[in-house]
């Protein structure tokens, strides 16, 4: 696709890259305020029990301790990221439900005293029977984790598209297979932290938090603290990775604000790494059964899908997560008949929540693995079966999705060619193999019309541009991309744009970073705000040049008549002339953008378009299996990705590389090991994610489409490519050693065990 832009499409570094490299970027844990106190949380050491009594007297008497709080003192307000799934208190009140549950909080003059004080708190529990597997938790007579929740199933969904029974009856082959995806921790380099300060004169609390969703956090703090939202200001400093783990409110946020209000002093909480592992969020372990009916040539006629997600002790994003698993079975392949049944089940374990892909990686692993298995069983090439069943832009969709742009077919072909598919598949020496897998992801969601982003663009007297956006940059480069979009629309350079983002006291409303909607939502809002400001300036310039505003072009700090670049003026001169004409300064453009949707709407009950646009990708892998040790080395991963037009190709590549490594961890290494509710590997050393030493050769392949809804044709880039690396790698392992693995991670122990069976 020919590029006609000046700033969009350029490989520009993130605007805060230098500060991060030099170590001058300020993360929440770096912040200090005069008189600041430090907080620590006491956590449950049993998986399930009633709280009979909490004795805080010894902690309160410890010199240096300034405050102690338990569930008894705080308001009786449940909270949660999804309004209909609220089931948590900021501090446990009557029960604890997992090892790590928040029981009490302490603040003191330094972290060491706070930690000592926590150890002095004595809690009397009545221990209750616990359950650690979702299939067991659903059985009659299982321990009840939340009162009134039948069979510990907090959320279920059943959807049918088309007529699955008829589809299976018309199929030449029907296959059914079961799969399991493990618990995975997000492992962000920056631990969770919060710093709160209270202004007693104005009755306002300000919190700096490592959060992905400042405005949602404000809502939950307002509810749990029982103060108006207008009295809560949330500021997001730099965030060192989130991946979904920093979507929810945590005890550190509430307690920092609670103590700041009660004591009139700033209070900071910073979680230890072990706390991040046991008491924040993790990717849901999931049992999945897939039944698929196909024709002899591999055409998919019907699928039946059953999922049981281990939610741990609380809901977090349960309804959204289990629903996404369903809706994204309908792309990237044409599945005319589908029946889906999904259950989110409570257990006495760490809590499942949003994680890069949000319920879809588990489903894609099952579907993409089974698709390879089906291809093998009926004698069809795995790449061909994917291309045969690929959806295409503009086609009617069984779930009423509107696919405006789709490069999936091309992505399969490009990824296969990049890995040497025809030359290598089934032809390499034993122990070497190639595999691939496909996926699709939304660019934001459109099931609620209030999921909107706002932006303000201000043109200053010296030609500088100020942007206000509520978007939350958590390291992915959102602020850089938004700045590029504004610079392109106004015809200025990147260095002319200054952005202020993610401050609920200053910036417009924005849902935050989730669902890969930032570029489309916040980018469209920023572009529309810039367009409004530009149009005001164009009206003045058009009069000066005796031209029509529609005939003007802004590029390279100039405004000129289309086709006649010599007829115009510099951007700065235009601003100066506007000011000297006594027109109102500064020039301000305001806009908000949300995808087409009706309110209220719920895709749990009705079909409809789920997102404004969808990205598509295929990833291919080459692996080498050490037959003596069982270790798998990922040699190469190629990613062919349709993200529309890349606003910043370098940032897109960075996202794709991160997805590859994250998917490699899910496939081969990462597993939160829990025994009787206790996490056994809550550290970077013991958890075992891939490092630079395990990085494969990574090839990025452009599949560019021009999406009509995204800003300058852009779609999401990065989260969707987390979905297919794991099945691509496991499919390659099958090609290497002829063993089908249906459970993640594929560890050396599992490989050696299966090789022994094969030999013996």
SS3 for 723-746 is CCHHHHHHHHHHHHHCCCCCECCC
Do residues 233 and 244 lie in contact, with contact meaning Cβ atoms separated by under 8 Å?
A: no
Residue 577, judged by CB atoms within 10 A of its CB (0-12, 13-18, 19+), counts as middle
pLDDT at 245: 97
Q: CB atoms < 10 A from the CB of 173, how many?
A: 14
Count helices and strands in the chain by DSSP H and E runs: 20, 28
The DSSP line for 177-190 is EEEEE--B----SS
pLDDT at 1: 45
Angle (nearest 5°) at CA 580 between 578 and 581:
65
Q: CB atoms < 10 A from the CB of 608, how many?
A: 17
Q: Tell which residue, 69, 107, 73, 70, has the closest CA to residue 266.
A: 107
Largest CA distance in the chain: 90
Instruction: Look up the pTM and report it.
Output: 0.97
**Tokens 């008549």 correspond to what residue?**
561
Q: Using CA atoms, how far apart are residues 379 and 375, in angstroms rounded to an integer?
A: 6
**In 456-494, which positions are buried (b, 16+ CB within 10 angstroms) versus exposed (e)?**
bbbbeeebbbbbbbbbbbbbbbbbbbbbbbbbbbbbbeb
Domains present along the chain, CATH in parentheses: 31-128+189-241+246-279 (3.90.1170.50), 286-446+602-759 (3.30.365.10), 452-593 (3.30.365.10)
The DSSP line for 405-448 is ---HHHHHHHHHHHHTHHHHTTTSPTTEEEEEEEEEEESS--SS
pLDDT at 223: 97
Residue 296, judged by CB atoms within 10 A of its CB (0-12, 13-18, 19+), counts as exposed
Q: Using CA atoms, how far apart are residues 520 and 497, in angstroms rounded to an integer?
A: 19
pLDDT at 603: 62
Q: Using CA atoms, how far apart are residues 343 and 228, in angstroms rounded to an integer?
A: 35
| Block mean pLDDT (10 aa), the chain, length 760 | 81 94 96 98 98 98 98 97 93 98 98 98 98 98 97 96 97 98 97 98 98 96 98 98 97 98 98 98 98 98 98 96 91 97 98 96 98 98 98 94 96 98 98 98 74 93 94 95 98 97 96 90 97 97 94 96 91 95 93 74 71 95 98 98 96 94 97 98 95 95 93 93 97 98 98 93
């Amino acid at each position: 696709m020919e590029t006609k832009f000046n700033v969009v499409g350029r490989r520009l570094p993130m605007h805060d890259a230098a500060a991060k490299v030099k170590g001058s970027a300020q993360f929440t844990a770096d912040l200090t305020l005069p008189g600041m106190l430090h907080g620590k949380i006491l956590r449950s050491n049993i998986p399930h029990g009633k709280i009979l009594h909490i004795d805080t007297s010894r902690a309160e008497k410890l010199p240096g301790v300034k405050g102690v709080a338990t569930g008894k003192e705080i308001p009786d307000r449940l909270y949660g990221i999804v309004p209909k799934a609220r089931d948590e208190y900021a501090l446990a009140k009557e029960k604890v439900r997992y090892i790590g549950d928040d029981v009490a909080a302490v603040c003191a003059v330094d972290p060491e005293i706070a930690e000592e004080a926590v150890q002095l708190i004595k809690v009397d529990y009545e221990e209750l029977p616990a359950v650690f597997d979702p299939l067991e938790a659903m059985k009659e007579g299982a321990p009840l984790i939340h009162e009134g929740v039948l069979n510990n199933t907090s959320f279920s969904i059943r959807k049918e598209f088309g007529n699955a029974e008829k589809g299976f009856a018309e199929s030449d082959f029907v296959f059914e297979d079961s799969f399991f995806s493990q618990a995975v921790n997000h492992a962000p380099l920056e631990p969770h932290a919060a710093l709160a300060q209270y202004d007693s004169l104005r009755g306002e609390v300000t919190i700096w938090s490592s959060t992905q969703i400042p405005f949602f956090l404000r809502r939950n703090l307002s509810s749990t603290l029982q103060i108006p939202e207008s009295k809560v200001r949330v500021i997001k400093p730099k965030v060192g990775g989130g991946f979904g783990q920093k979507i929810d409110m945590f005890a550190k946020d509430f307690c920092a604000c609670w103590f700041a209000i009660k004591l009139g002093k700033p209070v900071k909480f910073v979680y230890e790494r072990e706390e991040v592992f046991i008491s924040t969020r993790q990717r849901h372990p999931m049992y999945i059964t897939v039944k698929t009916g196909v024709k002899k040539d591999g055409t998919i006629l019907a699928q039946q899908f059953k999922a049981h997600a281990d939610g741990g002790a609380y809901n977090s994003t349960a309804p959204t997560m289990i629903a996404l698993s369903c809706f994204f079975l309908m792309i990237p392949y044409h599945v005319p008949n589908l029946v889906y049944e999904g259950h989110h089940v409570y257990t006495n374990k760490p809590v499942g929540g949003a994680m890069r892909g949000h319920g879809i990686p588990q489903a894609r692993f099952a579907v993409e693995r089974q698709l390879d298995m089906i291809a093998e069983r009926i004698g069809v090439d795995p790449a061909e079966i994917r291309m045969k069943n690929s959806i295409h832009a503009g086609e009617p969709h069984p779930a009423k999705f509107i696919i405006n742009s789709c490069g999936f077919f091309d992505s399969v072909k490009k990824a296969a060619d990049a890995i040497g598919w025809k030359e290598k598949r089934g032809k390499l020496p034993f122990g070497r193999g190639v595999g691939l897998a496909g996926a699709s992801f939304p660019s934001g969601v459109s099931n609620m019309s209030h999921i909107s982003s706002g932006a303000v663009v201000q043109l200053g007297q010296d030609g500088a541009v100020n942007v206000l956006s509520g978007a939350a940059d958590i390291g992915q480069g959102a602020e850089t991309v938004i700045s590029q979009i504004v610079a392109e629309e106004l015809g200025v350079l990147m260095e002319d744009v200054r952005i202020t983002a993610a401050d609920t006291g200053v910036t417009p409303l924005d849902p935050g970073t989730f669902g890969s909607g930032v570029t489309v939502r916040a980018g469209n809002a920023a572009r529309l705000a810039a367009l409004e400001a530009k149009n005001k300036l164009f009206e003045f310039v058009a009069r000066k040049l005796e031209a029509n505003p529609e005939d003007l072009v802004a590029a390279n700090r100039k405004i000129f008549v289309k086709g006649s670049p010599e007829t115009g003026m510099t951007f700065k001169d235009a601003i100066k002339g506007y000011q000297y004409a006594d027109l109102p300064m500064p020039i301000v453009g305001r806009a908000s953008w949300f995808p087409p949707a009706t309110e209220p709407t719920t895709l749990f009950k009705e079909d409809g378009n789920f997102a404004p646009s969808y990205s598509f990708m295929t990833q291919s892998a080459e692996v080498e299996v050490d037959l003596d040790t069982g270790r798998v080395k990922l040699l190469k991963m190629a990613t062919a990705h349709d993200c529309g037009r890349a606003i910043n190709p370098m940032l897109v590549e960075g996202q794709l590389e991160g997805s590859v490594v994250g998917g490699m961890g899910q496939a081969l290494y990462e597993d939160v090991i829990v025994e009787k509710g206790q996490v056994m590997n809550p550290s970077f050393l013991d958890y075992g994610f891939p490092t630079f030493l395990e990085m494969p050769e990574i090839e990025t392949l452009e599949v560019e489409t021009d999406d009509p809804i995204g800003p300058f044709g852009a779609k999401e880039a990065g989260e969707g490519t987390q979905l297919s690396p794991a099945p691509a790698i496991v499919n390659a392992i099958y090609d290497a050693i002829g063993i089908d693995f249906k459970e993640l991670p594929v560890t050396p122990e599992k490989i050696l065990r299966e090789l022994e069976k094969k030999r013996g």
